[in-house]
Structure 1
């Protein structure tokens, strides 16, 4: 008899609805923290073994270029393989590649060419996995009965929390146990993400993205090059016709390029040459992560009540240029960390807004291709940011490199306050979305 087994109550039912989304977010948090460890450990390993800012930039380029390429081109493949399966396979291969970096580093037999090859593999499979994870958010948000802004805010918050945890921890671990062991932990974090998503996210994502006409037409020949290219063109054609998405993409291309120069080259060189302490690198990165976490969580909580365009424009402007001027002028870890924290708060606010706008404007039918192409295009400058940062820091010195990058960043982030296309950020009405999601979306 079932007399001793209580009926599932509303709280238990709500927990079951939210479980898949929270599982995906939790996996992203842990794997992101592991990636943050490698983001410090690998550049530090290159710096202490070669002493070259250019070599550091080359390694950053080698990881990010395949990541961007797969983000742009993996959409049709993800549609065929499936969102969940692509995520799981990509993280398994990334774990293996990062483990190989640890193993060779621990054996003191890691030539620069081997390191470049391994991080390139890790970057490529991470690109495919991320192309699969982003389109899972809207259907899982609907299952949880949360708004897209809340879901995107929590997903972005997981990334910021990962930076908050991973970057300071990386500085401590690199100082205590060395970069190789720190990289091992990153490998384990990918495996953790695989286990969590496999256990919590259903094999068929509820209200999943429907199969595209191109995919249906080519079901008997899924590898046909012409069909694959036609599906890629579907996404690019939609993206090219949307002026707001194009404007967002252009702004993010430039800001990400310069941010990558900061994180991959300027900050490590500042910590190594001026502060002489790996912990300083982690502290400043952690301060930025804490600020961004505060920003995205505030937006997840208040996002539907804020005017989108004004909030996006002001926060982007206040977040972007000041860190470059702080690194250029100061050697105080406390002062630089304070600037990075405050700017991080402002910098965390636009991310949930961008995510919600993308999900609203891109049909579910095209999301794997359009969102992948947009993210890849937005990150197009990131690999070159590492190279640019290395060349500038070595060519004109850290101070002038940061001043030049900060000036360009300032000019770029004024544009949302100036050009009319950005007015499309504001939503016409929140009523239909609130009615669809119910009272829990507020």
Structure 2
């Protein structure tokens, strides 16, 4: 279920900017395509959490994927009759990216709610659920760019057909999903999510750290086609290979982080991952060859993969069960704000100056992550998993037993 949904989103997310770049040759329009993809996603959080709290995560997930499948089918049919390049074709692609991005975030809030509900049942082992979810997402990032690039070589309509099929598969496989319990102790609205966020300082630090990471990786993603084609004079086929290599590294990092957290704890793994991601992002800005750039991007995404497991585990502990969907939507809204900003920055900055932009974003990421981890440590008690108590034995002489 999650795999099909994530693969459909990843294929569209990475293929659409590449399609715009190939058909128009404009780096500014490529950055604009990235902006068009992410700006509507922010608008989705005004109602996605409310829908999940009110109608249930499973129902919302199925509805979002069904609508996306219909939209993709119609867009693919339009591309069949339109010329490969032209103002109308570019407009159709940009409009599709906007609506598709909105639906992707609605389904994401729904499937995250289901995952966190499962994680709560595991208590101190919730990071295992988050590692599995992150692994699925990174697996989609591994296959999505490569799949999108290969399908675009055949025809854009073929790519659209595959995305529609994946969305339908996600809908069908979610038919038997159990709905998480609905809580009525808090009103379900985005405003309720903001109130929970404001009164949870550790959650604020967590959101800021995720936002800083997303700004750096967003600029890296938006600039990648331009860097590969103009900086290193490579082919469009190698753009997908960069992100496929990065996804392999990220999958390995997620697998390692799950076991490292069991042995070393959340904080040590998070600190190492943050330092690794920041250092590698600096290297991407000064990489002298395409190979060095590819390796640096892979290390960035490996660090981000491990860091994502840590931060999502902490988020699942910090957000209360009451009005969970609304609070999750509020946090994700803030976390995703840097992504359209990244697209706007890439669109405004000349191609020759992109390395300087990457340097600035990497430095900012390092400073913010250091400050945020220090802030989270001050609220460490709130970030710890709840202690699970074994029921008291009925014998009068027996002592209560708890999990140490």
- Please report the TM-score for the alignment, with normalisation by the length of structure 1: 0.79
- Aligned residue for 2:19? 45
- Aligned residue for 2:396? none
Please say if 1:384 is aligned against 2:341.
yes
Please report how far the alpha carbon of residue 139 of structure 1 lies from its aligned counterpart in structure 2 after TM superposition. Answer: 2.9
**Distance verdict in 2 for CA 1:364–1:165, change over 3 Å:** same
Q: For 1:299-338, what per-residue CA distance to the aligned partner results, in whole angstroms no more than 9, with x for missing partners? A: 3334243332232122112113523532543332x33222
**Aligned residue among 133, 150, 170 for 1:193:** 170
CA distance in 1, matches of 2:25, 2:62: 37
Please say if 1:372 is aligned against 2:320.
no
Please say if 1:422 is aligned against 2:377.
yes
- Aligned residue for 2:395? none
Q: Secondary structure at the match of 1:140?
A: helix
Query: How large is the Cα RMSD of the aligned pairs?
Result: 2.7
Q: For 1:204-254, what per-residue CA distance to the aligned partner results, in whole angstroms no more than 9, with x for missing partners? A: 34xx24234536xxxxxxxxxxxxxxx332221110122221112122223
- Aligned residue for 2:113? 135
Q: Secondary structure at the match of 1:397?
A: helix
Q: Which stretch shifts more, 372-381 or 294-303?
A: 294-303
Please say if 1:317 is aligned against 2:279.
no
CA distance in 1, matches of 2:370, 2:50: 36
CA distance in 1, matches of 2:111, 2:339: 20
CA distance in 2, matches of 1:386, 1:298: 31
Q: For 1:61-87, what per-residue CA distance to the aligned partner results, in whole angstroms no more than 9, with x for missing partners? A: 222112122124322232222211111
CA distance in 1, matches of 2:74, 2:166: 14
Please report how far the alpha carbon of residue 263 of structure 1 lies from its aligned counterpart in structure 2 after TM superposition. Answer: 0.9
CA distance in 2, matches of 1:420, 1:141: 24
Unaligned runs of 5+ in 2: 392-402
- Contact 1:325–1:402 (Cα < 8 Å) also in 2: no
- Contact 1:72–1:375 (Cα < 8 Å) also in 2: no
- Aligned residue for 1:4? none
Unaligned runs of 5+ in 1: 1-26, 216-230
**Distance verdict in 2 for CA 1:293–1:255, change over 3 Å:** same
Q: Which stretch shifts more, 90-99 or 303-312?
A: 303-312
Q: For 1:50-69, what per-residue CA distance to the aligned partner results, in whole angstroms no more than 9, with x for missing partners? A: 22122112222222112122
What is the aligned residue count? 387
Q: For 1:355-407, what per-residue CA distance to the aligned partner results, in whole angstroms no more than 9, with x for missing partners? A: 2222222221121111111011111121121111121244x533333333333
CA distance in 2, matches of 1:53, 1:434: 58
**Aligned residue among 279, 282, 292 for 1:335:** 292
Please report how far the alpha carbon of residue 168 of structure 1 lies from its aligned counterpart in structure 2 after TM superposition. Answer: 2.8
- Aligned residue for 1:13? none
CA distance in 1, matches of 2:214, 2:384: 31
Please report how far the alpha carbon of residue 150 of structure 1 lies from its aligned counterpart in structure 2 after TM superposition. Answer: 0.8
- Contact 2:79–2:89 (Cα < 8 Å) also in 1: no
- Aligned residue for 2:400? none
Which structure 2 residues correspond to residues 399-438 of structure 1 after superposition, within 5 A?
A: 399-416=355-372, 419-425=374-380, 432-433=387-388
**Distance verdict in 2 for CA 1:359–1:269, change over 3 Å:** same
CA distance in 1, matches of 2:121, 2:302: 29
CA distance in 1, matches of 2:215, 2:33: 15
- Aligned residue for 1:162? 140
- Aligned residue for 2:60? 86
**Distance verdict in 2 for CA 1:178–1:398, change over 3 Å:** farther
- Contact 2:5–2:170 (Cα < 8 Å) also in 1: yes
**Aligned residue among 76, 94, 101 for 2:75:** 101
**Distance verdict in 2 for CA 1:258–1:342, change over 3 Å:** closer
Q: Secondary structure at the match of 1:275?
A: coil
